[in-house]
Amino acid sequence: MVVGIMIFQETKLKGVFIIKPDQKEDERGPFTRTFFSQNEFRDHGLNATIVQSDISYIRPKGTFRGMHFQTPPFDEDKIVSCCNGAILDYIVDLRVESPTFKDWFKIELSSDNGYSVYIPKSFAHGFYTLCPNAHVVYQLTGYHHPEHAWGFRFDDPAFDITVPTEITNLTEKDRNYPDLYLLPSESDHAWK
């Protein structure tokens, strides 16, 4: 079985791409390549030097995880997919100079659609589980540095993020992030 190319579709947030697989199926079931060559990502101007891969196992439906990012110099690009179940994936533009600064985008990622999303540096990320037992895969271009891990609440009034139904599970850490007051220049961000 030969699997074709991946389809890269840029979103309204410049640099954020939906990656759609060219899924093939036979009598055994579907087969999808989850990562092609680094050259294919580079052809779209994307960094795909993956150095770490993580899986988040979320048991309850209605869990919100996020909004998270790492600060410089340890900020990272990531490719996120859902290999079991389904999530709504949320991305927020934190680039002060961007015309879409503070705008957000959401997309359903699921084991059924096989979509991934490429999230560059200077974006926050979070997700909401649409079913129990969701497994979310992260492929990262940087290593985790807990001292540079930061975030803001999903309901921070600066962003007006909405979820489809009630959040039934939110960690104490995610619940208690302060409002993210973004100041005029990137060097003056509130998280520094």
Residues with active-site annotation: 68, 138
* CB-CB neighbours of 77 under 10 Å: 21
Rounded to 5 degrees, φ, ψ at 188 are -110, 20
Tokens, residue 131: 């079913």
Amino acid type, 33: R
Rounded to 5 degrees, φ, ψ at 147 are -70, -15
At a CB cut-off of 8 Å and minimum separation 6, what does 83 contact?
55, 111, 135, 136, 137
